[in-house]
Amino acid sequence: MNFLTQILPWNRVDKVLLIALFGLMTFGLLFVYSATYNNELFSSSTLIKQPYFKQGIFYLAGLTIAFVLCLKDYNQIARWAYVFYWLNITMLTLVLIPGIGSMRYGARRWFDLGLTQFQPSEMAKVAFVLALAQFLSRPRRELSDSKVLLKGIGLAMLPFALILMEPDLGTSLMILPTGLVMMYVAGAPWGFMKKLVGGATILTGLALAYVFFVPNEWKPIRLPDHQKRRLMVYFGVDYAKHYAGPNATNTEISRARALQKQDSYNVVQAMISVGSGGLTGKGWKNGIQNTYGYLPRGVAHNDFIFSVIAEESGFIGSTVVILLYGTIIAVGIRTAIRSRDRLGRILAMGVVTMMFFHVFVNIGMNIRMVPVTGLPLPLLSSGGSSVICSLAALGLLQNIKLYQKTI
């Protein structure tokens, strides 16, 4: 214990953050197990390949990395921010090359490591936050120079573009609001921020118009069809009108509507799961949607883990999960507010913003508040890259609390 006390200032550890963290990991182990124990996709797998077992291993690996990150002052870690950033840019480039990157679900975004797969875009988000925080921590007066701000935007746009090419629309879009909040916290001129937000809003509107209203034969760049259909499901676009056309036969209309029903299936079943849980839920491992496979086996333990939690633990369990996330976000904001160090303040808000948007989008897509994007729910969804990188990001947050110069 004396050795540990010497290498880490334990008296400054944020215990509230740790409690919330271990609370979420407990939910993660319980409900990844519940979502997969009766899953025929894993019935013949050995223990080491079971999602719940791998989730526990990922937790241990992530906690180890978080602990190591807490051994050095975040100011020292930030000196390596650009090296880490360019290393991740290199990996994002390599994963796009056939034969190096692994193709799944129509996207090339993984490195196949045998027992598991590694998704560099998850690590790239942490690298981006660290690099942008280091860049923006310069004296505030320098941020009045538009050239400096454009370089900051460039730090965001490079990983954004590479991740979008995989394609991974959800992960790439996480970079933009995170970068905007970090620039605001750093003290970028308000006039510049208004132009940036206004420009982003206009571009979003133009992008949606391009996707839905420009004929395919006129498009030099096309959004992958499955991602386009996710947007169509969210906005309630009638497939019969969009795909079949005004002169379509009954057979063509039937096919279009069958495709729409198929594309809507996951979201519909997730909403049924959330709505049927009631106040206290149906009990652990007793969710009908999950147990009988109405919620598809391939997504119940990752993208739609919240719907499993909602059905089996009800409104009370779902609220506890949201409160645990809220606690982490509140701790991060408090850490940022109390910091007199620009790097610590900007870095803490970057981690908090990334966490908030992940949680908001994932839970939102389970209840159809936002389109399905494939973003995991941090610490709860099954998946090594997401779990380990989320814990690494929270390790940085704990590091700021340990070593920051406070008011």
Q: CA 119, CA 88: separation in Å to the nearest integer?
A: 11
pLDDT of residue 223: 64
Q: CA 198, CA 177: separation in Å to the nearest integer?
A: 13
Cβ partners under 8 Å of residue 164, min gap 6: 172
Q: Which two tokens stand for residue 209?
A: 């118009």
| Helices and strands (H and E) in the chain: how many | 17, 3
Long-range (24+ apart) CB contacts under 8 A made by 30-33 are 30/284, 31/284, 31/301, 31/305, 31/308, 31/309, 31/312, 31/380, 32/301, 32/305, 32/380, 32/382
pLDDT of residue 218: 65
Question: What are the boundaries of each domain within the chain?
Answer: 20-403
The residues of the chain scoring below 70 in pLDDT are 1-10, 43, 105-106, 115, 208, 210-213, 215-224, 244-245, 405-407
Torsion, CA 329, CA 70, CA 29, CA 268, rounded to 10: 40
pLDDT of residue 4: 55
Q: Is the pTM of this model over 0.75?
A: yes
User: How distant, in Å, are the alpha carbons of 173, 194, 397 from that of 361?
Assistant: 11, 24, 21
Give 60-109 pLDDT, tens digit per residue.
999 999 999 998 899 999 999 999 999 999 999 998 888 888 877 667 77
Q: Are 345 and 162 in contact (CB under 8 A)?
A: no
pLDDT of residue 245: 67
Q: Are 178 and 353 in contact (CB under 8 A)?
A: yes
Q: How far apart are the first and last CA of the chain?
A: 30
DSSP at 249: -
pLDDT of residue 407: 47
